[in-house]
Amino acid sequence: MHTEEAFDALAQRLLDADERVERGRMMHSEGLRTAGRFFAFLRHDELVLKLPAERVRELLAGGVGRPFDAGKGRPMKEWICVGSGEQADWGAYASEAREFVASSG
């Protein structure tokens, strides 16, 4: 599935499942937020997710994704980029990110 189509399908599932989830723009990209805070957005062909720093380290160590750098020359410890090759797992990661952001607000 094309990356944008995969993101739209994922977004719709999350919007339907949780009335607190809403769409918005983040870093010139379509994103998802809860409680006014973003937890996922599409950037190029990657899903960028906000997860606990320990979980990000765990995923990176397991070969999933790459560190997210917002253009400032250093990775953001609670954000990870998951490529289109991992689309089958985007839903689980996005749900995990939504729960993390909702519980840490």
76-98 pLDDT per residue, tens: 999 999 998 899 999 999 999 99
With a cut of 90, say whether residue 105 has pLDDT above it. no
What value does the mean pLDDT of the chain take?
93
Say whether pTM exceeds 0.85.
Answer: yes
| pLDDT for position 72 | 83
| pLDDT for position 26 | 81
DSSP-H helix ranges across the chain: 3-17, 53-61, 87-103
55-72 pLDDT per residue, tens: 999 999 999 999 999 888
CB 8 within 8 A of CB 86: no
Give the Cα separation of 82 and 24 in Å (integer): 19
| pLDDT for position 12 | 96
- Dig out the tokens for 89 from the structure: 């797992």
CB 1 within 8 A of CB 87: yes
> What value does the mean pLDDT take over residues 47-57?
97
